Amino acid sequence: MQGYVVVFVSTTPTGDVVATTFNSNKNREANLPVILIHKPLSAQPSYHVVCQNTFPAFRGYSGIAVDKEGNYYVAADTGDGATSWIRKFSPSGKQDMAFGEGGQIAAGKRFVGLDIFDTYLFTTAAFAELMVFDTRTGKLVGKGPAVTQNAPGTPAIRDIAVDPSKQLVYGVAAGAAWVWEGGTFDNPATYKLRRLSPDTAGVRAGEGVYFDPVSRKVLIPENETGNLLSVGEGATFSQSNVVKPSPTENQICDVVLLQDGKTLFITDLRRSQIYVMKRSEGDTLPVLPGTVAVADATPTAAAPPASSTGAGGVTWVNEYKVALRQSRDQNKPLIVFFRAPSVNLCNELEAGYLTSPEFANLASQAIVCRFDVSSDRLLAQQLGVFKVPELAIYSSKGDRLTRTSGKIDPAKVTAEFQAAISKAK
Protein backbone atom coordinates (compact mmCIF):
# COMPACT_ATOMS: atom_id res chain seq x y z
CA MET A 1 0.00 0.00 0.00
CA GLN A 2 2.98 2.29 -0.52
CA GLY A 3 2.07 5.80 -1.60
CA TYR A 4 -1.31 5.84 0.11
CA VAL A 5 -2.45 6.43 3.68
CA VAL A 6 -4.88 3.58 4.42
CA VAL A 7 -7.76 4.01 6.85
CA PHE A 8 -11.00 1.99 6.77
CA VAL A 9 -11.43 -1.53 5.36
CA SER A 10 -14.24 -3.89 4.38
CA THR A 11 -14.65 -7.24 2.59
CA THR A 12 -16.42 -8.15 -0.64
CA PRO A 13 -18.70 -11.13 -1.48
CA THR A 14 -15.77 -12.76 -3.32
CA GLY A 15 -13.45 -12.61 -0.31
CA ASP A 16 -11.39 -9.61 -1.39
CA VAL A 17 -10.65 -6.56 0.78
CA VAL A 18 -11.29 -2.90 -0.02
CA ALA A 19 -9.39 -0.11 1.69
CA THR A 20 -10.04 3.63 1.79
CA THR A 21 -7.36 6.31 1.83
CA PHE A 22 -6.66 9.71 3.38
CA ASN A 23 -5.13 12.95 2.09
CA SER A 24 -2.19 13.48 4.44
CA ASN A 25 -1.11 16.66 2.65
CA LYS A 26 -2.09 19.69 4.73
CA ASN A 27 -1.72 22.20 1.90
CA ARG A 28 -3.58 20.91 -1.18
CA GLU A 29 -6.48 18.74 -2.29
CA ALA A 30 -5.96 15.23 -3.65
CA ASN A 31 -7.76 12.65 -5.78
CA LEU A 32 -8.02 9.68 -3.41
CA PRO A 33 -8.62 6.06 -4.47
CA VAL A 34 -10.52 3.21 -2.90
CA ILE A 35 -8.25 0.21 -3.39
CA LEU A 36 -9.32 -3.41 -3.86
CA ILE A 37 -6.88 -6.04 -2.61
CA HIS A 38 -7.50 -9.17 -4.70
CA LYS A 39 -6.78 -12.54 -3.08
CA PRO A 40 -5.55 -10.91 0.15
CA LEU A 41 -4.32 -14.19 1.67
CA SER A 42 -2.31 -15.28 -1.37
CA ALA A 43 1.48 -14.99 -1.59
CA GLN A 44 1.12 -12.18 -4.12
CA PRO A 45 -2.12 -10.20 -3.72
CA SER A 46 -2.90 -7.67 -6.45
CA TYR A 47 -4.11 -4.10 -6.00
CA HIS A 48 -6.74 -2.30 -8.10
CA VAL A 49 -8.33 1.14 -7.92
CA VAL A 50 -12.10 0.79 -7.47
CA CYS A 51 -13.03 4.48 -7.61
CA GLN A 52 -11.52 7.91 -7.00
CA ASN A 53 -12.87 11.08 -5.39
CA THR A 54 -11.41 14.50 -4.68
CA PHE A 55 -10.80 15.60 -1.09
CA PRO A 56 -9.53 18.81 0.49
CA ALA A 57 -6.27 18.94 2.40
CA PHE A 58 -6.01 16.60 5.40
CA ARG A 59 -9.36 14.94 4.76
CA GLY A 60 -10.51 11.62 3.34
CA TYR A 61 -12.96 8.77 3.36
CA SER A 62 -14.75 8.29 6.67
CA GLY A 63 -16.32 4.90 6.01
CA ILE A 64 -16.77 2.06 3.55
CA ALA A 65 -19.26 -0.81 3.17
CA VAL A 66 -20.02 -3.41 0.48
CA ASP A 67 -23.37 -5.05 -0.28
CA LYS A 68 -24.07 -8.61 -1.40
CA GLU A 69 -23.96 -7.62 -5.07
CA GLY A 70 -20.48 -6.16 -4.61
CA ASN A 71 -21.50 -2.49 -4.81
CA TYR A 72 -19.29 -0.08 -2.85
CA TYR A 73 -20.60 2.63 -0.54
CA VAL A 74 -18.11 5.27 0.57
CA ALA A 75 -18.53 8.21 2.92
CA ALA A 76 -16.61 11.48 2.74
CA ASP A 77 -15.98 13.68 5.74
CA THR A 78 -14.71 16.93 4.28
CA GLY A 79 -14.88 18.69 7.64
CA ASP A 80 -17.90 20.64 6.39
CA GLY A 81 -21.42 19.22 6.56
CA ALA A 82 -22.40 21.16 3.46
CA THR A 83 -19.94 19.24 1.28
CA SER A 84 -19.82 15.81 2.97
CA TRP A 85 -21.51 12.91 1.19
CA ILE A 86 -22.14 9.16 0.74
CA ARG A 87 -21.80 7.70 -2.77
CA LYS A 88 -22.48 4.30 -4.31
CA PHE A 89 -20.32 2.61 -6.95
CA SER A 90 -20.86 -0.56 -8.97
CA PRO A 91 -18.28 -3.39 -8.73
CA SER A 92 -16.70 -1.96 -11.89
CA GLY A 93 -16.31 1.44 -10.22
CA LYS A 94 -19.14 3.33 -11.97
CA GLN A 95 -20.96 5.82 -9.75
CA ASP A 96 -24.69 5.12 -9.35
CA MET A 97 -26.22 8.48 -10.31
CA ALA A 98 -29.73 7.28 -9.31
CA PHE A 99 -28.59 6.83 -5.71
CA GLY A 100 -29.75 9.57 -3.33
CA GLU A 101 -30.03 12.98 -4.99
CA GLY A 102 -27.83 13.44 -8.06
CA GLY A 103 -25.75 10.37 -7.21
CA GLN A 104 -25.10 10.98 -3.54
CA ILE A 105 -26.61 11.33 -0.08
CA ALA A 106 -26.02 14.83 1.27
CA ALA A 107 -27.82 15.85 4.45
CA GLY A 108 -25.83 18.94 5.38
CA LYS A 109 -24.00 16.88 8.00
CA ARG A 110 -20.61 15.19 8.25
CA PHE A 111 -20.97 11.45 7.69
CA VAL A 112 -18.78 9.19 9.83
CA GLY A 113 -18.69 5.39 9.56
CA LEU A 114 -20.64 2.97 7.33
CA ASP A 115 -21.99 -0.56 7.65
CA ILE A 116 -24.62 -2.66 5.86
CA PHE A 117 -27.19 -5.29 6.73
CA ASP A 118 -29.34 -6.49 3.84
CA THR A 119 -30.82 -3.27 2.33
CA TYR A 120 -30.02 -1.08 5.35
CA LEU A 121 -27.07 1.32 5.15
CA PHE A 122 -25.97 2.67 8.55
CA THR A 123 -23.98 5.82 9.29
CA THR A 124 -23.62 8.51 11.93
CA ALA A 125 -23.96 12.23 11.34
CA ALA A 126 -21.24 14.09 13.20
CA PHE A 127 -20.86 12.54 15.56
CA ALA A 128 -23.50 10.46 17.34
CA GLU A 129 -26.73 10.73 15.34
CA LEU A 130 -27.58 7.31 13.93
CA MET A 131 -29.02 7.40 10.39
CA VAL A 132 -30.28 4.49 8.28
CA PHE A 133 -30.68 4.66 4.50
CA ASP A 134 -31.95 2.26 1.83
CA THR A 135 -29.02 0.80 -0.12
CA ARG A 136 -31.08 0.63 -3.31
CA THR A 137 -32.31 4.20 -3.44
CA GLY A 138 -30.33 6.19 -0.88
CA LYS A 139 -33.60 7.30 0.72
CA LEU A 140 -33.72 7.79 4.49
CA VAL A 141 -35.27 4.85 6.39
CA GLY A 142 -35.09 6.56 9.76
CA LYS A 143 -32.95 8.23 12.41
CA GLY A 144 -31.93 7.42 15.93
CA PRO A 145 -32.97 9.69 18.83
CA ALA A 146 -32.08 13.36 18.59
CA VAL A 147 -28.54 14.21 19.66
CA THR A 148 -27.25 17.51 21.00
CA GLN A 149 -23.91 17.84 19.29
CA ASN A 150 -20.92 18.87 21.41
CA ALA A 151 -22.98 18.62 24.60
CA PRO A 152 -21.18 17.16 27.64
CA GLY A 153 -21.30 13.37 27.50
CA THR A 154 -22.01 13.19 23.76
CA PRO A 155 -19.39 10.85 22.25
CA ALA A 156 -17.47 11.78 19.10
CA ILE A 157 -18.26 8.49 17.35
CA ARG A 158 -16.00 7.89 14.33
CA ASP A 159 -17.06 4.49 13.02
CA ILE A 160 -19.91 1.97 13.41
CA ALA A 161 -20.53 -1.78 13.07
CA VAL A 162 -23.74 -3.82 13.21
CA ASP A 163 -24.70 -7.14 14.81
CA PRO A 164 -27.43 -8.47 12.47
CA SER A 165 -28.93 -11.10 14.77
CA LYS A 166 -29.35 -8.81 17.82
CA GLN A 167 -29.97 -5.67 15.71
CA LEU A 168 -27.38 -3.71 17.66
CA VAL A 169 -25.26 -0.90 16.23
CA TYR A 170 -21.84 -0.37 17.79
CA GLY A 171 -19.73 2.77 17.71
CA VAL A 172 -16.25 3.86 18.77
CA ALA A 173 -15.22 7.19 20.32
CA ALA A 174 -11.94 8.02 22.06
CA GLY A 175 -11.09 4.30 22.14
CA ALA A 176 -14.35 3.43 23.92
CA ALA A 177 -17.08 1.09 22.66
CA TRP A 178 -20.67 2.37 22.54
CA VAL A 179 -23.89 0.64 21.48
CA TRP A 180 -27.30 1.66 20.15
CA GLU A 181 -29.76 -0.84 21.63
CA GLY A 182 -33.47 -1.31 22.25
CA GLY A 183 -34.50 -0.56 18.68
CA THR A 184 -34.77 -2.29 15.31
CA PHE A 185 -33.09 -1.62 12.00
CA ASP A 186 -36.37 -0.57 10.37
CA ASN A 187 -37.32 1.69 13.29
CA PRO A 188 -34.08 3.31 14.54
CA ALA A 189 -35.94 6.07 16.44
CA THR A 190 -36.40 3.66 19.36
CA TYR A 191 -32.67 3.10 19.89
CA LYS A 192 -30.82 4.39 22.93
CA LEU A 193 -27.07 4.98 23.04
CA ARG A 194 -25.07 3.40 25.88
CA ARG A 195 -21.36 3.31 26.76
CA LEU A 196 -19.79 -0.18 26.94
CA SER A 197 -16.18 0.54 27.92
CA PRO A 198 -14.07 3.44 29.21
CA ASP A 199 -12.12 5.87 27.03
CA THR A 200 -8.62 4.67 26.22
CA ALA A 201 -7.42 7.63 24.13
CA GLY A 202 -8.25 11.16 23.14
CA VAL A 203 -10.71 12.12 20.41
CA ARG A 204 -9.17 11.56 16.97
CA ALA A 205 -10.07 10.81 13.37
CA GLY A 206 -9.41 7.37 11.92
CA GLU A 207 -10.92 5.29 14.71
CA GLY A 208 -12.44 2.02 13.57
CA VAL A 209 -14.74 -0.59 15.11
CA TYR A 210 -15.71 -4.08 13.95
CA PHE A 211 -18.21 -6.65 15.21
CA ASP A 212 -16.52 -10.06 15.19
CA PRO A 213 -19.23 -12.67 14.55
CA VAL A 214 -17.07 -15.57 15.73
CA SER A 215 -16.27 -14.30 19.22
CA ARG A 216 -19.39 -12.07 19.14
CA LYS A 217 -17.28 -9.25 20.52
CA VAL A 218 -16.54 -5.70 19.43
CA LEU A 219 -12.99 -5.16 18.17
CA ILE A 220 -11.30 -1.76 18.47
CA PRO A 221 -7.68 -1.01 17.48
CA GLU A 222 -6.14 1.14 20.23
CA ASN A 223 -3.71 3.67 18.85
CA GLU A 224 -2.08 4.62 22.17
CA THR A 225 -1.22 1.05 23.21
CA GLY A 226 -0.88 -0.73 19.87
CA ASN A 227 -3.41 -3.31 21.11
CA LEU A 228 -6.59 -4.75 19.67
CA LEU A 229 -9.30 -4.19 22.27
CA SER A 230 -12.01 -6.87 22.45
CA VAL A 231 -15.23 -5.88 24.25
CA GLY A 232 -17.70 -8.62 25.17
CA GLU A 233 -20.98 -9.08 27.01
CA GLY A 234 -21.15 -7.29 30.34
CA ALA A 235 -18.50 -4.85 29.15
CA THR A 236 -15.75 -7.43 29.72
CA PHE A 237 -12.69 -6.72 27.63
CA SER A 238 -9.28 -8.09 26.76
CA GLN A 239 -6.31 -6.97 24.66
CA SER A 240 -4.07 -8.52 22.02
CA ASN A 241 -0.88 -6.76 20.99
CA VAL A 242 -0.71 -5.72 17.34
CA VAL A 243 2.37 -3.48 17.26
CA LYS A 244 4.84 -2.12 19.75
CA PRO A 245 3.15 1.05 21.07
CA SER A 246 4.57 4.14 19.40
CA PRO A 247 1.99 6.90 18.76
CA THR A 248 4.58 8.90 16.83
CA GLU A 249 5.22 6.04 14.40
CA ASN A 250 1.99 4.03 14.35
CA GLN A 251 -1.72 4.78 14.23
CA ILE A 252 -3.67 1.54 13.96
CA CYS A 253 -7.24 2.37 13.07
CA ASP A 254 -9.57 -0.25 11.52
CA VAL A 255 -9.99 -4.02 11.48
CA VAL A 256 -11.87 -6.57 9.37
CA LEU A 257 -12.26 -10.36 9.48
CA LEU A 258 -11.54 -12.23 6.26
CA GLN A 259 -13.73 -15.01 4.85
CA ASP A 260 -11.66 -17.80 6.37
CA GLY A 261 -13.05 -16.79 9.77
CA LYS A 262 -9.53 -16.78 11.24
CA THR A 263 -7.59 -13.87 9.78
CA LEU A 264 -7.86 -10.21 10.77
CA PHE A 265 -6.54 -7.31 8.68
CA ILE A 266 -5.67 -4.21 10.73
CA THR A 267 -4.76 -0.92 9.07
CA ASP A 268 -2.08 1.52 10.20
CA LEU A 269 -2.84 5.05 9.05
CA ARG A 270 0.53 6.55 9.91
CA ARG A 271 2.72 3.81 8.40
CA SER A 272 0.36 2.99 5.49
CA GLN A 273 0.56 -0.70 6.34
CA ILE A 274 -1.85 -3.54 6.97
CA TYR A 275 -1.07 -6.01 9.75
CA VAL A 276 -2.26 -9.62 9.61
CA MET A 277 -3.38 -11.40 12.78
CA LYS A 278 -4.53 -15.01 13.23
CA ARG A 279 -6.85 -16.23 15.93
CA SER A 280 -5.33 -18.13 18.82
CA GLU A 281 -5.90 -21.88 18.66
CA GLY A 282 -8.77 -21.72 21.14
CA ASP A 283 -10.72 -19.31 18.94
CA THR A 284 -10.03 -21.03 15.61
CA LEU A 285 -13.02 -22.43 13.78
CA PRO A 286 -12.79 -26.22 13.36
CA VAL A 287 -12.23 -27.65 9.90
CA LEU A 288 -15.14 -30.03 9.50
CA PRO A 289 -14.98 -33.06 7.18
CA GLY A 290 -17.47 -32.96 4.35
CA THR A 291 -18.05 -29.21 4.55
CA VAL A 292 -17.17 -26.41 2.20
CA ALA A 293 -16.14 -22.82 2.78
CA VAL A 294 -18.75 -20.17 2.02
CA ALA A 295 -16.54 -18.72 -0.71
CA ASP A 296 -16.63 -22.06 -2.58
CA ALA A 297 -20.42 -22.34 -2.66
CA THR A 298 -22.12 -22.25 -6.06
CA PRO A 299 -24.70 -19.44 -6.51
CA THR A 300 -28.29 -20.49 -7.04
CA ALA A 301 -30.03 -19.81 -10.33
CA ALA A 302 -33.01 -17.97 -8.87
CA ALA A 303 -34.23 -16.59 -5.57
CA PRO A 304 -36.41 -19.01 -3.57
CA PRO A 305 -40.01 -18.14 -2.62
CA ALA A 306 -40.53 -16.17 0.59
CA SER A 307 -41.65 -19.34 2.40
CA SER A 308 -42.20 -22.96 1.52
CA THR A 309 -43.41 -26.16 3.17
CA GLY A 310 -40.89 -28.97 2.99
CA ALA A 311 -41.01 -32.69 3.66
CA GLY A 312 -42.09 -33.37 7.20
CA GLY A 313 -44.60 -30.50 7.09
CA VAL A 314 -42.15 -27.84 8.25
CA THR A 315 -42.84 -24.34 6.89
CA TRP A 316 -39.54 -22.64 6.07
CA VAL A 317 -38.98 -18.90 5.80
CA ASN A 318 -36.45 -18.39 3.00
CA GLU A 319 -35.41 -14.81 3.79
CA TYR A 320 -33.35 -14.18 6.92
CA LYS A 321 -34.58 -10.61 7.42
CA VAL A 322 -38.21 -11.75 7.36
CA ALA A 323 -37.51 -14.65 9.73
CA LEU A 324 -35.69 -12.33 12.13
CA ARG A 325 -38.68 -9.98 12.24
CA GLN A 326 -41.13 -12.84 12.77
CA SER A 327 -39.02 -14.22 15.62
CA ARG A 328 -38.98 -10.85 17.35
CA ASP A 329 -42.66 -10.02 16.71
CA GLN A 330 -43.93 -13.46 17.79
CA ASN A 331 -41.43 -13.82 20.65
CA LYS A 332 -40.29 -17.20 19.33
CA PRO A 333 -36.79 -18.66 18.98
CA LEU A 334 -35.29 -18.69 15.48
CA ILE A 335 -33.74 -21.84 14.00
CA VAL A 336 -31.57 -21.19 10.93
CA PHE A 337 -30.36 -23.87 8.53
CA PHE A 338 -27.32 -22.49 6.68
CA ARG A 339 -26.83 -24.43 3.46
CA ALA A 340 -25.40 -24.43 -0.04
CA PRO A 341 -27.07 -26.48 -2.82
CA SER A 342 -23.72 -27.74 -4.13
CA VAL A 343 -22.76 -29.38 -0.82
CA ASN A 344 -23.85 -33.01 -0.51
CA LEU A 345 -23.89 -32.94 3.28
CA CYS A 346 -26.43 -30.09 3.16
CA ASN A 347 -28.69 -32.08 0.85
CA GLU A 348 -28.36 -35.17 3.04
CA LEU A 349 -29.31 -33.18 6.13
CA GLU A 350 -32.28 -31.62 4.36
CA ALA A 351 -33.54 -34.97 3.09
CA GLY A 352 -32.90 -36.73 6.38
CA TYR A 353 -33.00 -35.16 9.85
CA LEU A 354 -34.84 -32.00 8.74
CA THR A 355 -37.79 -34.16 7.58
CA SER A 356 -37.95 -36.14 10.83
CA PRO A 357 -40.74 -35.91 13.44
CA GLU A 358 -38.12 -34.83 15.99
CA PHE A 359 -37.16 -31.77 13.96
CA ALA A 360 -40.80 -31.03 13.12
CA ASN A 361 -41.48 -30.87 16.86
CA LEU A 362 -38.65 -28.34 17.31
CA ALA A 363 -39.88 -26.33 14.33
CA SER A 364 -43.40 -26.12 15.79
CA GLN A 365 -41.96 -24.15 18.71
CA ALA A 366 -39.87 -21.73 16.64
CA ILE A 367 -39.52 -19.76 13.44
CA VAL A 368 -37.40 -21.79 11.01
CA CYS A 369 -35.30 -20.22 8.26
CA ARG A 370 -33.52 -21.84 5.31
CA PHE A 371 -30.56 -19.61 4.39
CA ASP A 372 -28.68 -20.33 1.16
CA VAL A 373 -25.27 -18.82 1.93
CA SER A 374 -24.41 -18.47 -1.74
CA SER A 375 -27.24 -15.91 -2.07
CA ASP A 376 -25.59 -13.54 0.43
CA ARG A 377 -22.05 -14.42 1.41
CA LEU A 378 -21.53 -11.16 3.26
CA LEU A 379 -24.50 -11.78 5.54
CA ALA A 380 -23.26 -15.31 6.18
CA GLN A 381 -19.95 -13.81 7.24
CA GLN A 382 -21.70 -11.22 9.42
CA LEU A 383 -23.45 -14.11 11.19
CA GLY A 384 -20.19 -16.00 11.68
CA VAL A 385 -20.97 -18.80 9.23
CA PHE A 386 -17.86 -19.89 7.34
CA LYS A 387 -18.65 -23.57 6.85
CA VAL A 388 -21.85 -25.34 5.80
CA PRO A 389 -24.07 -27.09 6.67
CA GLU A 390 -24.81 -25.41 9.98
CA LEU A 391 -27.85 -25.38 12.25
CA ALA A 392 -28.10 -22.53 14.76
CA ILE A 393 -30.76 -21.37 17.16
CA TYR A 394 -31.26 -17.80 18.38
CA SER A 395 -33.51 -16.28 21.03
CA SER A 396 -36.16 -13.77 19.93
CA LYS A 397 -33.69 -11.06 21.04
CA GLY A 398 -31.04 -12.39 18.67
CA ASP A 399 -28.75 -14.14 21.15
CA ARG A 400 -27.18 -17.22 19.60
CA LEU A 401 -28.07 -20.06 21.99
CA THR A 402 -26.30 -22.99 20.35
CA ARG A 403 -25.06 -24.16 16.97
CA THR A 404 -23.85 -27.35 15.28
CA SER A 405 -21.99 -27.85 12.01
CA GLY A 406 -21.08 -30.67 9.66
CA LYS A 407 -22.39 -34.20 10.04
CA ILE A 408 -24.78 -34.12 12.98
CA ASP A 409 -25.93 -36.52 15.67
CA PRO A 410 -29.77 -36.27 15.49
CA ALA A 411 -30.40 -37.25 19.11
CA LYS A 412 -27.78 -34.80 20.40
CA VAL A 413 -29.03 -31.93 18.23
CA THR A 414 -32.64 -32.55 19.24
CA ALA A 415 -31.76 -32.52 22.93
CA GLU A 416 -29.56 -29.41 22.69
CA PHE A 417 -32.07 -27.43 20.62
CA GLN A 418 -35.01 -28.42 22.85
CA ALA A 419 -33.04 -27.31 25.90
CA ALA A 420 -32.29 -24.00 24.17
CA ILE A 421 -35.95 -23.50 23.27
CA SER A 422 -37.04 -24.23 26.83
CA LYS A 423 -34.47 -21.80 28.17
CA ALA A 424 -35.59 -19.09 25.76
CA LYS A 425 -39.24 -19.25 26.88
Q: Which domains does the chain have, with CATH numbers?
A: 5-283 (2.130.10.10), 292-424 (3.40.30.10)
pLDDT of residue 131: 97
pLDDT of residue 382: 95
Q: Nearest-CA neighbor of 201 among 223, 230, 178? A: 223
Cβ–Cβ contacts within 10 Å for residue 94, how many?
11
Dist. CA 339–CA 329, nearest whole Å: 25
Cβ–Cβ contacts within 10 Å for residue 368, how many?
27
Q: Which residues of the chain have pLDDT under 50?
A: 282-301
Dist. CA 313–CA 292, nearest whole Å: 28
Q: Nearest-CA neighbor of 192 among 208, 181, 204? A: 181
Dist. CA 186–CA 191, nearest whole Å: 11
Q: Nearest-CA neighbor of 291 among 386, 372, 369? A: 386
pLDDT of residue 310: 64
The set of residues, in sequence order, having a beta carbon less than 8 Å from that of 422 and lying 6+ positions away, is none
pLDDT of residue 380: 95
Q: pTM here?
A: 0.92
Beginning with the edge strand found earlier in the chain, give each strand of the sheet holding 237-241 in spatial order. 210-212, 217-222, 227-231, 237-241
Integer angstrom CA distances of residue 269 from 17, 20, 252, 275, 425: 16, 10, 6, 11, 47
Beta strand 227-231 with 217-222 is antiparallel
pLDDT of residue 296: 42
pLDDT digits (tens, 9 = 90+) for 195-249: 999 998 888 888 999 999 998 999 999 877 788 999 987 656 677 778 776 666 7
pLDDT digits (tens, 9 = 90+) for 359-368: 999 999 999 9
pLDDT of residue 1: 58
pLDDT of residue 82: 94
